[in-house]
Structure 1
Amino acid sequence: MVMGDMEMKVDLLVIGSGPGGYGAAFRGADLGLDVAMVDPRRHPGGVCLHEGCIPSKTYLHVAELLEESRVAHKMGIHFSRPEINPGEVLSWKNHIVDDMADGLVSLAESRGIQLIRGTAHFESSTGVRLQGAEISRIRFNQCIIATGSQAVSLPGSSFGGTGRIMSSREALELPDIPADLLVVGGGYAGLELGTIYAALGSRIHLVEQDNRLMSGVDKDLVAPLQRRLKQLFSKIDLHTGVAGLQESENGVIARLEKQGGIETLHFDRALVAVGRRPVSADLGLENTKVATDDRGFIRTDDQMRTMDNTIFAVGDVCGGMMLAHTAIRQGRVAAEAAAGKSVAYDVRAVPAVVYTDPQIAWCGLTEEEAGACDIAVSILRFPWKYSGRAATLDSTAGITKIITDRQDGRVLGVGICGRNAEGLIGEGVLAVEMGALAEDLALSLHPHPTLSENLGEAAEIFLGSPTHLLPGKKA
């Protein structure tokens, strides 16, 4: 590699080293391309590894352990009150992140990928200028933008200052365990992080501007989680906006806007989880033919190619569901297209998971989408109160549902709320992608007693012969 005030040339430049970036870089290198990957971070992994998916799921496992210890007395097992050491919990999280980051470095180096720490700015459709790097410029035949997204702050406030107004990034560093925490936003990030802090001992006051939690997810899937959160959180206010957040000497002053007027409350910290925006503004896209929408998301085709023929974009910077596994697949598609292969991103069933307790997972068409698009469907629901395995796990509040075409029984979507929904949704993804019929799921032998058989039981409703539910009985 050429050092100093010089430039280098590569077949494929990848800007960003998150799941979309390293997924693209790895696939490009495997296809024989000379690949360089640029990112300002010291190690690859992006927000997902360092500030998002992996840290939050590590803490959620801690929260699950704490909850299990608290309810074990119902099963005749008694623990003393757990002692929580935030510093040691943080060290455990950092250990996991560092190990995974080292693994990504090893995978990249073994593939011959050049890892460059720095910030890229397009000078043209075939070259970038680098800042903070050992080289000044990179010329490329093709480029993949995978710069991701960043948290949106509320108008009039920002992340930083004393750090009492937090995004998910600051919250996952466990600065302390606040006695009173305001969570702004009833989407997956707010619910997951609220669950973590509640388990660690914080009193959670959650506010959501909409009239429900997890807007866009079928209400019957959210209902068991909402009942649980009402027990776990000290307060949940829907139809509530935030007129202002102000850091004080010892906390945060929040002005909450309700139908009855403004209520002013004091919290030790506030977590803002109201959405994310693309990291695209300072890339120098004006020096290329790359087009963005009015929110800054990069426009792409089904090969993830932008309006500039030499440049692709993948992951959060393109918008959509903003999921790590989506970014990885898009990165692989873009790399294969850059290598001249005939490919397209044509996923029918994108799985989404909310890692709360209970978990929610879904894929394909939702019931609400079917109604909005006037699609004739049959909804098959199997409540977990009829599941033997759910009973042994004290997890009977869950539900498994299948959305099928009303005429031929083809599986169009699957939703699950309950323990291990993250693992159970895989069968639903396969069913939707393969165009399976409800009959196929019903006749596939599922082991008993398991949570996986609940999907088969739901499918048997379509045939009119469920085993653990009376035929014709509404769930």
Structure 2
Amino acid sequence: MVVGDVTTGTDVLVIGAGPGGYVAAIRAGQLDLDVTLVERDAYGGACLNRGCIPSKALITGSKLAHDAGNAEDLGIHANPAVDLSQMMNWKDGIVDGLTGGVEKLCKANGVNLVEGTAEFSGENSVRVVHGGEGQGSESIDFEHCIIATGSRPIQVPGFEFDGEHVISAEGALDLQTVPDELVVVGAGYIGMELAGVYARLGTDVTVIEMLDDVLPPYEDDVSRVVRKHAEELGVEFHFGYTAEDWEESGDGVVVTATPAAADGGEAAEAEEDDERETLELSADKVLVAVGRQPVTDTMSLEAAGIETDERGFIQTDDRARTEKEHIFAVGDVAGEPMLAHKASTEGQVAAEVIAGEPSAIDYQAMPAAVFTSPEIGTVGLTADEAEEQGFEPVIGKFPFNASGRAMTANETDGFVRIVADEPSGFVLGAQIVGPEASELIAELALAIEMGATLEDVASTVHTHPTLAESTMEAAENALGHAIHTLNR
């Protein structure tokens, strides 16, 4: 029996229950708005189910196993046996608990949950097609709509995901046995995080990257520390190469990689110098991790009068509004940076704007983190960016090899760097590469948000011995009176 179409109405319709959508729905519910949240897959979105959370679980598990097996200097001699299937079960338990928590929080805040795929049928209405045979559809009229449909992995021509030989990050987060050999296409943050996971578990990992280094958006001295660690784990890199094709070979594959087109960079110079040959790389699996693209092609946006740019992103203002005043877009569909916490911030702002609150998004203090080994945490401006914007940057830096706490954690690579405006002392940005960088960056994000100066950070007493002292020392270094490192 097919359920007939019914029409309901709501103050706020949210499409997508990822970190942007469910936060928007909960905040709107808190503001006494009638809210309907449509999700076609799983509460928590890609971040909670197929990205942020499961990847960090495997990073923790693989690091624990690797550190235990490589701690002879500490007097620890061990040879841990890794049961990847059990590790995956542990990871899945975390994900299930969090997704269930999201659903409960939504219901507790009065959010009406609807399962299905939403498509616009007009500027103030959508049609929701329910999954499953005979489940039918329904129409929902809305006063305001928040689009939060997230993103999906980009597929490389010739390397379409088949779930067996060619996998996405989602597939890599669900393997039941540790592969002997893994080829990773792409040395961005996803590729580098997962390359580290499997290298620590004992896989021979080879990374193909068309550019000339890992983590292209980051400064050279930051990415260099991460690349060095990966190489020490045994990861082999082929920079300036493009994955061209693959074919089955026994139970695995052989990947063909060719020199990337000359772009004037180091990779191009290397190509001219040694006339590099085509590579043939064997592997059990090929992980393609070349980035993500917005999911904006499933909603019939044209019916609502919404256009996307050439990359598929929806343009918004600092209140998350699209070109239609009553329709908002948050998270990955609204463009870079594609970060879960950025999505949540935009979702909260959108809900507050709809409720009449004077809310807006400030991207100046938006932190970012990469969970490689060691971690990277950044916020605000680099020194070059600060100079381009007319500031007179002053830099303070503190190396972790001068930190007593880093030494006792046996993690001394990397540094904390603070960028400030010299005349005013205002903190403008920070770059951290080292242990717990994703946690340490929060202090400097707060400093930028509140308009703190170098003196404010330097004069704040930090607990000893901690990694956080490095932030204080970097600020003191910028002022010329650091105690535990040479001053600039």
Q: Distance in 2 between matches of 1:406 and 1:393?
A: 34
8 Å CA contact 2:458, 2:475 repeated in 1: yes
Q: CA deviation at 1:250?
A: 2.1
Paired residue secondary structure (2:114): strand
Amino acid at match of 1:377: P
Q: 1:276 aligns with which of 284, 292, 303?
A: 292
What is aligned with 2:443?
A: 427
CA distance in 1, matches of 2:386, 2:286: 37
| Structure 1 CA distance for aligned equivalents of residues 228 and 143 of structure 2 | 54
Query: 2:404: which partner in 1?
Result: 388
> 8 Å contact 1:218–1:368 — kept in the other structure?
no
Alpha-carbon distance, 1:415 to partner = 1.2
Equivalent positions of 1:191-230 (< 5 A) are 191-230=192-231
2:141 aligns with: 139
Residue 312 (str. 1) matches residue 335 (str. 2): no
Does 1:110 find its partner at 2:126? no
Q: 1:118, CA displacement in angstroms?
A: 0.4
Between 1:133-142 and 1:321-330, the stretch displaced more is 133-142
Deviations 1:180-233 (A, max 9, x none): 100111111001111111112210001111111111112222222221111113
Structure 2 counterpart of 1:65, which letter? L
Residue from 358, 377, 380 that aligns with 1:361: 377
CA distance in 1, matches of 2:54, 2:233: 21
Aligned-pair CA distance for 1:175:
4.2
Flag structure 2 segments of 5+ consecutive residues without an equivalent. 260-270
What is the rounded CA distance, in whole Å, between the counterparts of 1:237 and 1:168 in structure 2? Answer: 20
Question: Is 1:455 equivalent to 2:471 in the alignment?
Answer: yes
SS at match of 2:328: strand
Alignment equivalent of 2:152, drawn from 140, 150, 153: 150
The amino acid of 1:155's aligned partner reads P
Between 363-372 and 20-29, the greater mean CA deviation after superposition: 363-372
User: Residues of 2 paired with 1:63 and 1:224: CA distance?
Assistant: 19
Distance 1:246 1:312, change over 3 A: farther
2:294 paired with 1:292? no
1:40 aligns with 2:56: no
* Distance in 1 of aligned mates of 2:152 and 2:7: 30
SS of 2:69 mapped into structure 1 = helix
Question: What are structure 1's unaligned runs of at least 5 residues?
Answer: none
**Structure 1 residues 57-89: Cα deviation after superposition (integer angstroms, max 9, x where no partner):** 00000012012202222111222x111112111
Contact 1:218 1:367 in 2 (8 A): no
Question: Does residue 8 in structure 1 map to residue 8 in structure 2?
Answer: yes
Q: Does 1:408 align with 2:407?
A: no
Q: Which amino acid aligns with 1:455?
A: T
Per-residue deviation, 1:8: 1.0
SS in 2 for 1:416: strand
How many Å separate the matches in 1 of 2:40 and 2:256? 37
CA contact 1:216–1:368 (8 Å) conserved in 2: no
In the TM superposition, residue 240 of structure 1 has moved relative to its aligned partner by 1.6
Report percent identity of matched pairs: 41
* Corresponding position of 1:51: 50
User: How big is each residue's C-alpha offset from its partner over 1:230-264, in whole Å with a ceiling of 9 and x where there is no partner?
Assistant: 11133111112112234455222211112313222
177-186 vs 233-242, greater mean Cα deviation: 233-242
CA displacement at 1:34 relative to structure 2: 0.9
Does residue 90 of the first structure (1) align with residue 88 of the second (2)? yes
2:161 to 154, 159, 179: 159
Match of 2:482 among 445, 466, 471: 466
Alpha-carbon spacing, 1:115–1:247, altered in 2? closer, same or farther (3 Å) = farther
- RMSD of aligned alpha carbons: 1.6
TM-score, normalised to structure 2, is 0.93
Task: Please say if 1:21 is aligned against 2:21.
Answer: yes
Change in CA separation of 1:254 and 1:372 when aligned onto 2, cut-off 3 Å: farther
* Counterpart residue number, 2:262: none
Q: Quick one: which amino acid aligns to residue 45 of structure 1?
A: G
Count of residues in Structure 1 that have an aligned counterpart in Structure 2: 467
Write the distance in 2 (CA, Å) between the matches of 1:432 and 1:393: 29
- More deviation, 435-444/145-154: 435-444
Amino acid at match of 1:335: A
Given that 1:165 and 1:252 are in contact with CA atoms closer than 8 Å, whether structure 2 keeps it comes out as no
TM-score by length of 1: 0.95
Cα distance change of structure 1 residues 415 and 77 upon mapping to structure 2, 3 Å threshold: same
* Structural mapping, 1:233-272, within 5 Å: 233-248=234-249, 250-258=251-259, 259=271, 260-272=276-288
Shift of the alpha carbon at 1:367? 3.2
State the AA in 2 paired with 1:151: P
Q: Is the 8 A contact 2:376 2:434 kept in 1?
A: yes
Q: Establish whether residue 177 from structure 1 lines up as the match of residue 191 from structure 2.
A: no
Distance 1:342 1:91, change over 3 A: same
How far, CA to CA, are the matches of 2:386 and 2:245 in structure 1? 37
User: How big is the shift at 1:432?
Assistant: 1.1
Once the two structures are TM-superposed, the CA of residue 384 in structure 1 deviates from its matched residue by: 1.2
Q: Residue in 2 aligned with 1:377?
A: 393
CA contact (8 A) 2:158 2:244 kept: no
- Structure 1 residues 213 and 465, CA gap change in structure 2 (3 angstroms): same
2:265 is matched with which residue? Answer: none
Stretch moving more, 254-263 or 279-288: 254-263
Indicate how the Cα distance of structure 1 residues 94 and 398 shifts in structure 2: closer, same or farther if over 3 A, else same: same
Q: Deviations over 1:402-446 (max 9, x none)?
A: 011132221100111111111111111011111211111111111
- The SS at the match of 2:345 is helix
Deviation at 1:338, TM superposition (A): 1.4
Rounded Cα–Cα distance in structure 2 between residues aligned with 1:101 and 1:247: 37
Q: Which amino acid aligns with 1:267?
A: A
Paired residue for 2:353, among 333, 337, 344? 337
Moved more, 123-132 or 250-259: 250-259
Which of the residues 342, 346, 352 maps onto 1:326? 342
User: Match for 2:349: what amino acid?
Assistant: V
Q: Which amino acid aligns with 2:120?
A: F
1:116 shift after superposition: 1.0
1:439 corresponds to? 455
Which digits, 9 at most, give the CA deviation of each residue in 1:450-470, with x for residues without a partner? Answer: 110111111111221111123
